[in-house]
Chains A and B, each alone.
Chain A
Amino acid sequence: MSGISLAGVKKRYPGGVLAVKGVDIDIESGEFVTLVGPSGCGKTTTLRTIAGFETPTDGSVHIDGNEVTDAPPYERDTGMVFQDFALFPHMTIHENIAYGMEASGDYTTEEIDARVEEMLELVELPGVGDRTPDQLSGGQQQRIALARALAPRPKALLLDEPLASLDKQLREQMQVELRRIQQEIGITTVFVTHNQEEALTMSDRLAVMNDGKFEQVGPPEEVYNDPDSRFVADFLGTANIFDGTVSAVENNYAMVDCDDVSVQAAVQNGVSAGDDTSVVIRPERFRFDDGTAGNAGAASADGGTNAGGMTVFEGEITFKRHLGSSVEFHLETDSGREITVVRRSGMDKRGPGDRVAVSVAADDCRLVEA
Chain B
Amino acid sequence: MGSDTDTSADTDTTPATEAAPELAADGGTATGSDTASGDDAGRAGLKARAKWYALSYPLFWLVAVFFVPLCLLFVFSFWVNIPGGQYEFGFTFENYLRFVSVDFTSSWPFIEPGLYLSQMWLTIELALVTAVFSLLLGYPIAYYLARMDRPWLRSLLLITIISSLWVTYVIRAYAWQVILASGGVLSSIGVATGILSEPQSFYPGYWGLVVGMVYVFLPFMILTLYSSIRNIDGELLEASKNLGAGSVKTFRRVTLPLSKNGITSGMALVFILALGSYVLPRLLGSSAERTLPVLIEQQIMSESNYPFAAAMSIGLILVVIVFLWALIRMTNVTAGSLGGNEEVATDGGSQQPGSTGSSPFAKVRGGFGSAASAIGLTAVAGQIGSAIDSVVTRVDAKTRESVIWVTFRAYVAAAMAFIAVPIAIIIAVSFTPEQFLTFPPGGFSMQWYVEFFTSESWMVALVNSFAIAGAAALLSTTIGGGLAFALDRFDYKWSSIYGTFGVLPILVPPVIIGVAFLVFFLELGIAGSRTSIIVAHGIFYAPFPFILISQGLDEIDRTYEEAAMNLGASSLRTLRTITYPLIRANVISGALFAFILSLNEYIIAWLLSLFLVNTIPIEIFNSLRYGYSPTIAAASVVFIALTVVVMTAIDRFSGGIWE
A332→B571 CA distance, assembly (Å): 61
Q: Which residues of the other chain, A, contact B6 by a CB distance below 8 angstroms? A: 60
Contact of A72 among B3, B22, B28, B581 (CB under 8 A): B22
Asked whether, in the complex, the Cβ of B3 is within 8 Å of the Cβ of A58, the reply is yes
Give min CB distance, A53 to chain B, whole Å: 5
Stretch from B183-191, B314-322, B562-570, B628-636 that touches the partner: B562-570
B351 lies within 8 A of chain A by Cβ: no
**A97, closest chain B residue (CB):** B567
B127 → chain A closest CB, angstroms: 45
**In the complex the two chains form, is B557's CB within 8 Å of A152's CB?**
no
Within the complex, what minimum Cβ distance (angstroms) separates B225 from chain A?
A: 34
Q: Are A86 and B569 in contact (CB under 8 A)?
A: no
Is B10 interfacial (CB 8 A cutoff)? yes
Q: Is the CB of B567 within 8 A of A72?
A: no
Within 8 A of A (CB), among B1-53: 3-4, 6-7, 10-11, 14-15, 17-18, 22, 24-26, 28-29, 31-33, 35, 42-44
Output the residue of A51, A57, A74, A78 with the most chain B CB within 10 A. Answer: A74
Contacts of B18 in A (CB 8 A): 72
Contacts of B582 in A (CB 8 A): 89-90
Chain B residues contacting A70 (CB-CB under 8 Å) are: 7, 10-11, 14, 42-43
Q: Is the CB–CB distance between B26 and A55 below 8 Å?
A: yes
B3 lies within 8 A of A59 (CB): yes
Asked if B559 lies at the interface with its beta carbon under 8 angstroms from chain A, I say yes
For the complex formed, measure the closest distance between the CB of A313 and the CB atoms of chain B, giving whole angstroms.
50
Residues of B with C-beta under 8 A to A67 = 10
* A residues in contact with B560, CB < 8 Å: 86, 88-89
Q: In the docked arrangement, what's the CA distance between A90 and B491, Å?
A: 28
A90 contacts across to B, CB distance below 8 A: 581-582
Given A54-B29, A57-B32; A82-B3 close (CB under 8 Å): no
Give bound CA distance, A362 to B35, whole Å. 52
A205 is an interface residue with CB less than 8 A from chain B: no
Inter-chain contact B567/A100, CB cutoff 8 Å: yes
Chain B residues, CB < 8 A from A12: 32
Contact A60/B10 with A74-B568, A99-B567 known, Cβ cut-off 8 Å: yes
A78 to B17, CA, bound (A): 19
Instruction: Classify chain A's interface size.
Output: 35 or more
A1 interfacial by beta-carbon distance below 8 Å: no
Which of A55, A73, A77 is in CB contact (< 8 Å) with B562? A73
Name the one of B10, B35, B569 contacting A103, with C-beta atoms under 8 angstroms.
B569
Closest to A98 in B: B567
**Is B147's beta carbon under 8 Å from chain A?**
no
B32 touches A99 (CB 8 A): no
In chain A, residues 27-62, which have Cβ atoms closer than 8 Å to a Cβ of chain B? 51-60
Contact code string B523-566 (vs A, CB < 8 Å = 1, else 0): 00000000000000000000000000000000001011011111
Known: A74-B565, A86-B557. A53 touches B3 (CB 8 A): no
CA distance A51 to B565 in the complex (A): 10
Q: Do B26 and A53 touch across chains, with their CB atoms under 8 A apart?
A: yes
Min CB distance B245 to A, Å, is 44
Closest to B44 in A: A55
Q: Is the CB of B557 within 8 A of A72?
A: no
User: Which of the residues A8, A14, A60, A74 comes within 8 Å of B569, measured between beta carbons?
Assistant: A74
Identify which of B22, B32, B568 gathers the most chain A CB atoms within 10 Å of its CB. B568
Chain B contacts of A198 at CB under 8 A? Answer: none
Chain A residues, CB < 8 A from B578: 88
* Complex contacts, A326 vs chain B, CB 8 Å: none
Q: Tell me, in angstroms, the Cα distance from A278 to B43 when the chains sit together.
A: 48
Bound CA span A74–B562, Å: 9
B residues in contact with A80, CB < 8 Å: 562-563, 566
A366 on the B face (CB < 8 A): no
* B568 touching A58, Cβ below 8 Å: no
Residues of A within 8 A of B571 (CB): 72, 74
Chain A residues with CB below 8 A from B31, complex form: 14
B592 nearest CB across to chain A (Å): 20
Give the distance to chain B from A81, nearest Cβ to Cβ, in Å: 9
Docked pose: A54 CA to B25 CA in angstroms? 8
Q: Would you call B573 an interface residue if the criterion is a C-beta within 8 Å of the partner chain's C-beta atoms? A: yes
Question: Once the chains are docked, how many angstroms separate the CA of A327 from the CA of B2?
Answer: 55
Alpha-carbon distance between A366 and B480 when the two chains are bound, in angstroms: 64
Q: With A and B bound together, what is the CA distance between A8 and B6 in angstroms?
A: 12
How far in angstroms is the closest Cβ of chain B from A188? 15
Q: Contacts A57-B35, A58-B3: A103 and B568 contacting too (C-beta < 8 A)?
A: yes
Smallest CB–CB gap between B479 and chain A, Å?
A: 26
Asked if A319 is at the interface of the complex by the 8 Å CB criterion, the answer is: no
B28 touches A14 (CB 8 A): yes
Contact A55-B29, Cβ < 8 Å, known A72-B18, A88-B560: yes
Whether the pair B28, A152 counts as a contact (CB closer than 8 A) is no
Flag if B14 contacts A73 (CB, 8 Å).
Answer: no
Say yes or no: A84 contacts B557, CB within 8 Å: yes
In the bound complex, residues from chain B placing their C-beta under 8 Å from that of A149 are 566-567
Separation of A76 and B570 alpha carbons in the complex (Å): 12
B14: nearest residue on chain A (CB-CB)?
A70
A234 CB → nearest B CB, Å: 32
Given the known interface contacts A12-B32, A69-B7, the answer about A152 and B567 at a Cβ–Cβ threshold of 8 Å is: yes
A84 to B558 Cα, complex, angstroms: 11
Which of A73, A86, A88 makes the CB contact (< 8 A) with B24? A73
Q: Give the Cβ gap from B343 to chain A, nearest Cβ, in Å.
A: 24
Partner of B4, one of A58, A79, A82, A84: A58
Please, which residues of chain B bring their CB within 8 A of the CB of A74?
565-571
Cα-based distance from A163 to B518 in the complex (angstroms): 62
CB contacts (< 8 Å) of B557 on chain A: these are 84, 86
Q: Judge whether B26 and A54 touch: CB under 8 Å.
A: yes
Question: Nearest CB to that of B584 among chain A residues?
Answer: A90
A88-B578, A103-B568, A103-B573 known; A57-B563 Cβ under 8 A: no
B residues in contact with A99, CB < 8 Å: 564, 567, 569, 577
B569 touches A58 (CB 8 A): no
CA distance A350 to B65 in the complex (A): 84
A8 closest partner in B (C-beta): B3
Q: Which residues of B contact A104 (CB under 8 A)?
A: 568
Residues of B within 8 A of A103 (CB): 564, 567-570, 573
Q: Contact check: which of B29, B559, B562, B568 meets A100 at CB < 8 Å? A: B568
A55 close to B43 (CB less than 8 A): yes
Q: Is A343 an interface residue (CB 8 A)?
A: no
Residues of A within 8 A of B15 (CB): 75
Q: Shortest CB–CB separation between residue B553 and chain A, in angstroms?
A: 16
Nearest chain-A residue to B569 (Cβ)?
A: A103
A148 at the interface (CB under 8 A from B): yes
B398 to chain A, nearest CB (A): 48
Chain A residue at minimal CB-CB distance from B566: A80
- Give complex CA distance A101, B86 in Å: 68
A40 to B280, CA, bound (A): 60
Within 8 Å CB of B44, what residues of A?
A: 55
- What is the bound-complex CA distance between A14 and B31, given in angstroms? 6
Contacts of B29 in A (CB 8 A): 54-55
A12, A53, A56, A60, most chain B CB atoms within 10 A: A53
Closest to A12 in B: B32
For B3, what are the chain A residues with a Cβ–Cβ distance below 8 Å? 8, 58-59
The docked-state distance in angstroms from the alpha carbon of A74 to that of B43 is 14
Interchain nearest-CB distance for A203 vs B (Å): 22
A71 lies within 8 A of chain B by Cβ: yes
A53 to B568, CA, bound (A): 13
* Sample of 5 further A-B pairs with CB below 8 A, known A53-B565, A73-B565: A52-B565, A70-B7, A73-B566, A78-B566, A149-B567
Query: Which residues of B approach A to under 8 Å, CB–CB?
Result: 3-4, 6-7, 10-11, 14-15, 17-18, 22, 24-26, 28-29, 31-33, 35, 42-44, 491, 557, 559-560, 562-571, 573, 577-578, 581-582
Q: Can you offer 17 A-B residue contacts whose CB atoms are under 8 A?
A: A13-B28, A52-B565, A53-B25, A57-B33, A60-B10, A70-B10, A70-B42, A72-B43, A76-B566, A83-B559, A86-B559, A86-B560, A88-B563, A99-B564, A99-B569, A103-B564, A103-B573
Closest 9 CB pairs of A and B: A100-B567, A14-B28, A86-B559, A73-B565, A86-B563, A103-B569, A103-B568, A70-B14, A80-B566
